[in-house]
Amino acid sequence: MFCEVYLLDVPYHLDRPFDYECSGEAVVGAIVKVPFGKADKLRHGVIVKIKDTVGGDKIKPVHSSLDGRLRLTEQMCGLCLFLKEHTLCTFGEAVRCILPPGALSDKLNESFRRTVTLKKSREETAALLTLSGRAGIRSEGQRSILRYLIDIESADYELVRALPGVTPANIAALRDKGIVIVTESENIRNPYAAYAKERDTSEIILSRAQGEAYRTVEELYLDSHARCALLHGVTGSGKTKIILKAIDKCIADGKGVIMMVPEISLTPQTVSIFCKRYGERVAVIHSSLSAGERMDAWKRIKRGDVDLVIGTRSAVFAPLDNIGMIVIDEEHEHTYKSESDPKYHAREVASYICGKNNALLLLASATPALESYYKAKRGIYTLISLKERFGGVKLPDAIIVDMREELRLGNLSPISERLIKSLKEVYEREEQAILFLNRRGYNSQVSCKGCGDVVSCPRCSVSLTFHTSASGGKMLCHLCGYTAKVPKVCESCGSDNLSFLGYGTQKVEAEISKYLPEMSLMRMDADTTSGKLSYDKMLEDFRASKSDILLGTQMVAKGHDFPKVTLVGVVLADTSLFVSDFRASEKTFSLLTQVIGRAGRSKEGGIAVIQTYSPKNEIIRLACLQDYEKFYEGEIELRRELTYPPFCDLVTLTVTAEDEREVMKESKRLSDTLKDKLSGEVGKLPFLVFGPFEASVYRVNEKYRMKMVVKCRLNNESRAMFSEILSEFSKSSRLATLSIDFNPMTV
């Protein structure tokens, strides 16, 4: 017997199947170790095909197989090939994406539980304790163990070991005497198990509008073909109830569901809702879990103990059988696109999986991605609209504050007088507020008033951000993590006249403490949520009213439902509006719409205070009105006029090298190669090529980056051309790397 094996650790130009001799027990999807190269170094690989004959002579044999529990299914192998073709990753990168972290290590990240159990009856054990001399139990440690076990018969080994005066030797002695047995079993870790203790199986009552929306979802689900629907509802319209009822239907039919959320910070709320309804047959997957916890979740799913998988982007690869539906909540979010290989978009992967399972892909958002809404308008997706909030609750009134006027009145604080007044009113009514600023740290930069020099990262082409701390503070690079002491004088001219400019969440926290000392504030950003499950704890505390104000970056802006929040404040609405990105308007509109929607989700109603230096900007005005349709109409015409997605596909080619001359040389060679390719048959297709030019951040972590951008239509021919370019570059360049990204979220 012979097999074709994809190696898991080879460069792109060698990423193809190799023939090996195998035993009759070999199966497709098995992870094996095979000898490779002149030195026959053992490498991991995956069997993708079994066959009877091969061409050539000296065919090397497969050395060994890994744990059979990690075997890829036929669908997983197909998904790896799909990722390889559609993202230009290697097969090995796709496998590592699909398997949980640490799965390919020689020792799986597993946990085992030892239990000590009485082998004799309680009566026999009690009698042993009464015997004296050699016939009895003389060791006080052993006697303590038996007295403890007489009541409960069986206990965790570590609990027994923790008894006063007990040692491991005492347990071993009782085992050798045949009085107790020590067993070892796999310990499946589930940090969210507690969420399932409180059950809620009440009937879901839908409004008339929700009922109509659900019936459309159900019809699509019952269709025998793969379908896609876009559930577009204003913030607070009750999309979750429709999703819950659809999941009820799927699970009742014996099918599995994947429910995806864009941020780790959304999982506590989502997990709580779904675990109360579906109990322990829920698995959670996200990057804040340990490798062992993610491995255990994967194993629970693989062996059929799970009906519903909840998680962030990587949850789309959950090894769930018989999938009936995949839900992507807040489907517009950029976090669904991976920025490292494989550079996949979860929506495209979910579409592939639903196609293979004849399942329903349900996209949900108050501000859908323009590409998704365009497809819905053209009938490619089924559009389902909810135009009013559930229960007749009104959308919050939005108040735009002109920060230029604040400056003219002498207010240099990032907090306007109007926002301070609104916060005081919230405090007096014993309600809560959310403050949003998409910038962490205290000051965004430190510059010299004498020479104008800015304190910058020595590894990256960005300024360092000032962060306060108990020890006085530090300068931090948000790209590479470089830290430095806060300067006292300018390194360029020696002047001590330094300016601390701009502001982040730490500065706003300090300002709130100064103006509103009576209000308690909780700050949620990357600096305060580094601990395990820290998101969960902070959100639970805020929900329990342990804080009056939740201040944070994007993680506070989306998806949360806090009934006591009646005020949302956007500290600076301009942060993402004027960046050099064709999606800047879309991202700003979406973010503002989402954060405004966090307010007034109960009958008390609410307001949103939007601070900006551009009060007449159309995007900000439409976000305050929550008018997605009007925004879409204007933006889609602009995209059409300038030929941007969805009217084309974008491809970015990034050359990276530690030596600046090398990156210039290789980017020139890349440009020449691309021109040669386009002069052939593939050049008959429409292509627009820009560059090479410096990346928006030219240097990151001591590596220089040059970019090219191509507007085209991605199909088999164009993908094959980009694959050839990547393969040739991988083979010929030793000091530079090339990365190709199809339809990136930023250009």
- pLDDT 10s digits, 578-606: 888 899 999 999 999 988 888 877 777 78
Instruction: Give the whole-angstrom CA distance, residue 607 versus residue 605.
Output: 7
Each residue's pLDDT tens digit, 341-399: 999 999 999 999 999 999 999 999 999 999 999 999 999 999 999 988 877 778 889 99
DSSP string over 461-487: SSBPEEE--TTS-EEE-TTT--EEPPP
Predicted local distance difference test score (pLDDT) of residue 532: 66
Residue 557 pLDDT grade (very low, low, confident, very high; cuts 50, 70, 90): confident
Radius of gyration for the alpha carbons in the chain, expressed in angstroms and rounded: 30
Can you list the alpha helix ranges (DSSP code H) found in 429-531? 505-515
CA angle 636, 641, 644 (to 5 degrees): 65
Beta-carbon contacts of 715 under 8 Å, excluding residues fewer than 6 positions away, are 685
Q: Which residues pair with 689 in a beta bridge?
A: 710
In this structure, what is the dihedral angle of CA atoms 246, 247, 253, 256, given to the nearest 10 degrees? 140
As a whole number, mean pLDDT of residues 191-198 equals 79
Instruction: Give the whole-angstrom CA distance, residue 639 versus residue 584.
Output: 12
Q: How far is C-alpha 431 from the geometric centre of its chain's CA atoms?
A: 31
Q: How far is C-alpha 109 from the geometric centre of its chain's CA atoms?
A: 22
Each residue's pLDDT tens digit, 679-694: 876 767 789 999 999 9
Predicted local distance difference test score (pLDDT) of residue 266: 63
Q: How far is C-alpha 290 from the geometric centre of its chain's CA atoms?
A: 14
As a whole number, mean pLDDT of residues 223-239 equals 92
Predicted local distance difference test score (pLDDT) of residue 554: 85
Pairwise pLDDT comparison (331 vs 108), residue with the higher score: 331
- Give 304-321 as a 3 state SS string: CCCCEEEECHHHHHCCCC
As given in the structure block, the two tokens for residue 170 are: 């005492």
Asked whether the beta carbons of 485 and 474 are under 8 A apart, the reply is yes
Residue carrying structure tokens 């993402």: 576
Share of the chain above pLDDT 90, in %: 72
Predicted local distance difference test score (pLDDT) of residue 236: 83
The model's pTM is 0.88
Q: What is the mean pLDDT of the chain?
A: 91
Asked whether the beta carbons of 487 and 464 are under 8 A apart, the reply is no
Predicted local distance difference test score (pLDDT) of residue 267: 64
Predicted local distance difference test score (pLDDT) of residue 656: 98
As given in the structure block, the two tokens for residue 477 are: 């690079």
Which residue in 273, 385, 261, 271 sits closest to 327, CA to CA? 261
Each residue's pLDDT tens digit, 645-671: 999 999 999 999 999 999 999 999 999
Asked whether the beta carbons of 685 and 727 are under 8 A apart, the reply is no
As given in the structure block, the two tokens for residue 535 are: 């998101």
**What domains appear along the chain, each with residue ranges and CATH number?**
2-98 (3.40.1440.60), 112-186 (no CATH), 193-391 (3.40.50.300), 397-442+503-635 (3.40.50.300), 649-742 (3.30.70.600)
Which residue in 451, 463, 522 sits closest to 490, CA to CA? 451
Q: Which residues pair with 323 in a beta bridge?
A: 256
Asked whether the beta carbons of 142 and 136 are under 8 A apart, the reply is no
Predicted local distance difference test score (pLDDT) of residue 482: 95
Q: Establish how many alpha carbons lie within 13 A of residue 87's alpha carbon, considering only the half-sphere containing its beta carbon.
A: 26
**Pairing state between β 736-742 and 649-657:** antiparallel
CA angle 150, 151, 154 (to 5 degrees): 75
For residue 52, report the phi and psi dihedrals to the nearest 5 degrees.
-90, -30
Cβ-in-10-Å burial (0-12, 13-18, 19+) of 438 comes to: buried
Q: Is the pLDDT of residue 531 over 80?
A: no
Asked whether the beta carbons of 139 and 172 are under 8 A apart, the reply is no
As given in the structure block, the two tokens for residue 129 are: 């304790």
Secondary structure of residue 43 in the 3-state scheme: strand
As given in the structure block, the two tokens for residue 232 are: 């577009």
79: left (phi over 0), alpha (psi -120 to 50) or beta: alpha
Predicted local distance difference test score (pLDDT) of residue 375: 98
CA distances from 129 to 150, 172, 177, 620 (A): 11, 18, 14, 80
Instruction: Give the whole-angstrom CA distance, residue 46 versus residue 92.
Output: 9
Q: How far is C-alpha 67 from the geometric centre of its chain's CA atoms?
A: 28
Q: Which residues pair with 6 in a beta bridge?
A: 46
Sheet of 256-260, strand order: 282-285, 308-311, 256-260, 323-329, 360-365, 227-233, 382-386
**Pairing state between β 703-712 and 649-657:** antiparallel
Tally of residues, the chain: 747
Asked whether the beta carbons of 722 and 730 are under 8 A apart, the reply is no
DSSP string over 544-561: TTS-SEEEESGGGTSS--
The total of other beta-carbon atoms located within 10 Å of residue 403's CB is: 19
Q: Is the pLDDT of residue 196 over 80?
A: no
Which residue in 380, 314, 299 sits closest to 79, CA to CA? 314
Each residue's pLDDT tens digit, 435-485: 999 898 999 999 999 999 999 999 999 999 999 987 789 999 999 999 999
Predicted local distance difference test score (pLDDT) of residue 472: 81
Secondary structure of residue 632 in the 3-state scheme: helix
Residue type, 669: R
Q: Is the pLDDT of residue 235 over 90?
A: no
- Separation of first and last alpha carbons in the chain: 49
DSSP string over 367-390: S--HHHHHHHHTTSSEEEEE-S-G
Asked whether the beta carbons of 364 and 327 are under 8 A apart, the reply is yes
Q: Is the pLDDT of residue 7 over 90?
A: yes
Which residue in 704, 725, 617 sits closest to 660, CA to CA? 704
Lowest mean pLDDT among 120-124, 431-435, 517-521: 120-124
Share of the chain above pLDDT 70, in %: 98
Each residue's pLDDT tens digit, 63-112: 998 877 788 999 999 999 999 999 999 999 999 999 998 888 766 667 77
Can you list the alpha helix ranges (DSSP code H) found in 99-207? 122-130, 140-152, 157-161, 168-176
H or E stretch covering 678: helix 660-678
Asked whether the beta carbons of 599 and 559 are under 8 A apart, the reply is no
Beta strands in 180-249 (DSSP E): 180-186, 227-233
Q: Is the pLDDT of residue 33 over 80?
A: yes
Predicted local distance difference test score (pLDDT) of residue 708: 97
304: left (phi over 0), alpha (psi -120 to 50) or beta: left
Instruction: Give the whole-angstrom CA distance, residue 164 versus residue 172.
Output: 16
Instruction: Give the whole-angstrom CA distance, residue 181 versus residue 622.
Output: 70
As a whole number, mean pLDDT of residues 683-710 equals 93
Q: Is the pLDDT of residue 418 over 90?
A: yes
738: left (phi over 0), alpha (psi -120 to 50) or beta: beta
Asked whether the beta carbons of 377 and 370 are under 8 A apart, the reply is no
Predicted local distance difference test score (pLDDT) of residue 642: 94
